[in-house]
Amino acid sequence: AQSVTQLGSHVSVSEGALVLLRCNYSSSVPPYLFWYVQYPNQGLQLLLKYTSAATLVKGINGFEAEFKKSETSFHLTKPSAHMSDAAEYFCAVSTSGTYKYIFGTGTRLKVLA
Partner 1 sequence: GAGVSQSPRYKVAKRGQDVALRCDPISGHVSLFWYQQALGQGPEFLTYFQNEAQLDKSGLPSDRFFAERPEGSVSTLKIQRTQQEDSAVYLCASSLGGGGGNYNEQFFGPGTRLTVL
For strand 107-112 and strand 10-14, is the pairing parallel, antiparallel, or unpaired? parallel
- Which CB sits closer to partner 1, 5 or 17? 5
CB proximity list for 8: less than 8 A, separation 6 or greater: 21, 22, 107
Q: Residue 56 Cβ, how far from partner 1 at the closest point, in Å?
A: 18
CB 110 within 8 A of CB 11: yes
Q: Residue 29 Cβ, how far from partner 1 at the closest point, in Å?
A: 11
Q: Residue 104 Cβ, how far from partner 1 at the closest point, in Å?
A: 5
- Which CB sits closer to partner 1, 21 or 102? 102
